[in-house]
Structure 1
Amino acid sequence: MSKEITIGLIQLSSSSVIEDNLQQAEKLIKASAADGADMVVLPETFALMEKYNGQKLDFVEQHLGGPIQGWMQRVAKENQVAVIGGTIAVASGVDDRPFARCYVYDKQGELVTYYDKIHMFDVAVKADEVYSESNNTLAGDETKVFELMGVTFGLSVCYDLRFPELYRLYQQQGVQIILAPSAFTQKTGEVHWQLLLQARAVENLCFVAASNQTGEHDNKRKTFGHSMFIGPWGDVLGSMSQQEGFINRAIDIEHIEKIKKRFPVHTHRRL
């Protein structure tokens, strides 16, 4: 019998108003869960898309305590759906540099694990669009693998997608689905979003489920949308355009083993 899990990707155009973002996210989570999702994946910075650099420092939560964490626990329990909580700012112990933390809650609203984004987005996308994430975010230094509903997941966030060594570690740990909540920019998304998702899936013979921010935000920056599921053969199993909403997909985990038997590239590594 095939082992299946249905995942919902939640695509948002988050603003700098937390209450509005949570209201829209909850509406989409309810719809995705009602449509059969066992798990929903929120995008990076789902609760707060900063209007100015450093705005998030006014909303830093303590680990295991805070309104956004409480909200995630409640919506998971009320909708009987596991919640992958994009990222929120959580105190790191370093002043003015919280972690960008992705929490995982099960269907009962219990904390499973969390992941602190490792790779910081310090780039100039173009002359007037410069990001310096490390100025007000502390990088994490631990990979995170967890199991839910008999499936093994590996956590990553957005800019992590450009660093294949992270995902090779996950492949060695038997990860079957890579999760990648993101806020990928419009400019870089047009050329690299799907390419990177497919590369990570093909390299590691696993599924990738990536939710993204979309549209123009109230800080005037634009994100690419196109949340999507990629199969271990690199095929696009489902994709959105740039509207807010959700997309659900049932994933057949046994498909990985069928490919590995036929095409055992994972056994042929030399370096």
Structure 2
Amino acid sequence: MRAGAIQLNSTEDTDRNLATADRLVREAVALGASLVVLPEKWNLLGTGEQLARGAEPLDGRCLAWAGSIARELGIDLVAGSIVERAGGAEKHANTSVHIGPDGEQRAVYRKIHMFDVEIEGVRYAESDHEQPGEEIVLSELAGGVRLGMTVCYDLRFPELYRELAVRGAEVMVAPSAFTLPTTRDHWEVLVRARAIENQCYLIAPNQIGVHPPGHRSGGRSLIVDPWGLVLASAPDAETAIVAELDLDSLREIRRKLPSLANRRPHVYG
């Protein structure tokens, strides 16, 4: 199977974001992708107030577009993440949705780890506006391949990835909006490490460029194989990258270097 990662420079202009996503998803499919992954907050990236105003329910127009294009093109689509308006909740969720080739929502994952940090003098506080998810989510692609779902900052928590691998994930996704400094210094190391540790394919589309209120994302979207090799890497532009995922190769790596089978969790405490 071939997978695509979409790199966007999303802003507060949802119409523009949707148009660019539509064009690049079609480009990835034209290159043979049957699984396409959008980045974090692909439909809207802005200030906390802009995100709150633009939050949508799971049946809102952005996920309606995602379902429509998945059905039209006959693909599995991971709609990165959106800011989800949860009925009655004080805060919103950062929500990733897997949509099948029939256009139906197959799985919903709400980002577990909130990005509350200060980097190079810039404060990020997702928990001011968002509530963390409480559920690990595994889905299944049209061909029966198990899909592990994560979002962005989750990459720094190997426990989550290990649990997904133990539950059977062979392909994992990490739609992201990594900052420019952390993309530069940490991004590729983290993506490759999670793929190597869990002997899985990892599709990691990242945001790029400047977003309100002046935050910068670093791009370099990646598709990495279970040996940690970079199969595709994005240039510094809005683009689609595509790579072949060889599931037989994955299973052969797990057979020859059975680190998942060699775990001794009873010793770890």
Give the TM-score, by structure 1 length: 0.94
Distance 1:197 1:94 in 2: 35
Note the alpha carbon deviations across 1:140-169, whole angstroms, 9 max, x for none: 010111111121110000000000000110
Note the alpha carbon deviations across 1:218-259, whole angstroms, 9 max, x for none: 432111101111111111111112111101111001112211
Note the alpha carbon deviations across 1:176-219, whole angstroms, 9 max, x for none: 01100000010011111000011111111111110000112343
Distance 1:242 1:227 in 2: 9
Distance 1:150 1:142 in 2: 22
Aligned to 1:53: 48
Q: 1:107 and 2:88 equivalent?
A: no
Could you tell me how far 1:54 is from its partner in structure 2? Answer: 2.2
Distance 1:263 1:35 in 2: 32
Q: 1:14 and 2:10 equivalent?
A: yes
Aligned to 2:159: 165
Note the alpha carbon deviations across 1:52-86, whole angstroms, 9 max, x for none: 222111122223x2111111111112222221011
Residues 203/94 of structure 1: CA separation in 2 closer, same or farther (3 Å cut) = farther
Note the alpha carbon deviations across 1:74-131, whole angstroms, 9 max, x for none: 111222222101111212345441111111111121111110000000000121x110
Aligned to 1:75: 69
Matches within 5 A, 1:5-154: 5-50=1-46, 52-63=47-58, 65-93=59-87, 95-127=89-121, 129-148=122-141, 149-154=143-148
Q: Which amino acid aligns with 1:238?
A: A
Aligned to 1:221: 215
Q: Which amino acid aligns with 1:224?
A: G
Q: Which amino acid aligns with 1:257?
A: R
Aligned to 1:198, which of 168, 192, 207? 192
Contact 1:121–1:134 (Cα < 8 Å) also in 2: yes
Q: Give unpaired runs (5+ residues) of structure 1.
A: none
Q: Secondary structure at the match of 2:48?
A: coil
Q: Which amino acid aligns with 2:129?
A: N
Q: 1:258 and 2:244 equivalent?
A: no
Could you tell me how far 1:35 is from its partner in structure 2? Answer: 1.6
Indicate the RMSD between aligned Cα atoms, in angstroms. Answer: 1.2
Q: Give unpaired runs (5+ residues) of structure 2.
A: none
Number of aligned positions between the proteins = 264
Contact 1:57–1:96 (Cα < 8 Å) also in 2: no
Distance 1:189 1:213 in 2: 10
Give the TM-score, by structure 2 length: 0.95
Contact 1:6–1:249 (Cα < 8 Å) also in 2: yes
Residues 269/216 of structure 1: CA separation in 2 closer, same or farther (3 Å cut) = same
Distance 1:196 1:33 in 2: 27
Q: State the identity as a percent.
A: 36
Contact 1:92–1:138 (Cα < 8 Å) also in 2: no
Contact 1:215–1:225 (Cα < 8 Å) also in 2: yes
